[in-house]
Amino acid sequence: MRARAGNSVQVRFALPAEPLRPFVTTYYCTDVTCSPFDPWLEDYLHPEWANIRFLGKVAAQAMIGPGDVRPSPAFAVTGPTSRSMHFRMGAGRSWGIGLMPQGWAALFGVPAADYADRYVDAQADPAFAAFVPLAAALAASSGDYAEELALIEAHMARIVADAAPVDSAIAALNAALVDPEMIVVADLAARLDMNVRSLERLCLRAFGFPPKLLLRRQRFLRSLERFMLDPSLKWLGVLGSHYHDQSHFVRDFKRFMGMSPSDYARLDKPLMLAAAQARMAAAGHAVQGLHTPAGVEPA
């Protein structure tokens, strides 16, 4: 996809092997070419589950929520987000691993809520030590896409083999969250046969946020996905049936993206539009937060 001022971006997604799908959404590779007159590709990332990103030598800046962008570490982990990430990327190749909530809970011995709406230098955080060798291997690789993907796949297979097994409660909660008919916390607790306090603890441990915010975020992402797949649509054409009216949607949009829908529609989206189409083709959803857990029939 061509970006403004002669910049270009290519985003490629790959699904993990079947045994890894409860833990990983996708692997993704981003190649950016920048014009000498415009050294940054700039965009706004919508709320997601957690991601591991290997930027290598790619210069990048980011900020989740309000505030000025700041330099991103070469090896970063972003926790689950409920706010947009404003970012800039320079020329070069970077890789990412998208994690399901099950993946966070199995691979890291820390609550997702401790990393919600922030990113960290994973090289300096002992919670992510198991991925330091992969960061080094990618930094030393030949630059061949297939070779680098194989490095990631092999490393993930080893890590998951030593990880905690699938937690059935997390799987059931994730399945409920991608159900478009699930809209209130009481119904969520009833489906999981949990009291609300136990549900809140599970949500914070593996998903990063309280259940009410998670349901609100999922509702928003369904409408945003329709727009990302067809930006020619008017906002009224993407509203889910559980929005009372357009003002209800506008309030959610400002909460999750930090701007109005009309302001967002006017922005260049060189990476996110390319990523939405590529992710949809590879994984069946344009945004990571709507990935259906392994073993669950898509809604």
In angstroms, the CA 60 to CA 87 distance is 7
**What is the second-level CATH architecture of the domain 4-161?**
Sandwich (2.60)
In angstroms, the CA 16 to CA 149 distance is 10
| Position 228 pLDDT exceeds 90 | no
Q: Which residue has the tokens 């490393």?
A: 155
Residue 11, CB half-sphere, CA atoms under 13 Å: how many?
22
pLDDT of residue 127: 97
pTM score of the predicted model: 0.94
Give the 3-state secondary structure of residue 195.
coil
Domain boundaries, the chain: 4-161, 168-290
| Position 247 pLDDT exceeds 80 | yes
pLDDT of residue 296: 64
pLDDT of residue 298: 52
Local confidence band at 261 (pLDDT 50, 70, 90 cut-offs): very high
168-290, what's its fold? Arc Repressor Mutant, subunit A (1.10.10)
Query: Is residue 101 within 8 Å of 144, Cβ to Cβ?
Result: no
Q: Which residue has the tokens 């083709």?
A: 281
Same fold, 4-161 and 168-290: no
| Secondary structure (H, E, C), 92-148 | EEEEEEEECHHHHHHHCCCCHHHHCCCEEEHHHCHHHHHHHHHHHHHHCCCCCHHHH
In angstroms, the CA 252 to CA 257 distance is 8
16-49 pLDDT, tens digit each: 999 999 999 999 999 999 888 888 999 999 999 9
In angstroms, the CA 166 to CA 162 distance is 12
Mean pLDDT of 231-245: 75
pLDDT of residue 6: 57
pLDDT of residue 241: 66
Query: Is residue 148 within 8 Å of 103, Cβ to Cβ?
Result: no
| Position 141 pLDDT exceeds 50 | yes
Local confidence band at 274 (pLDDT 50, 70, 90 cut-offs): very high
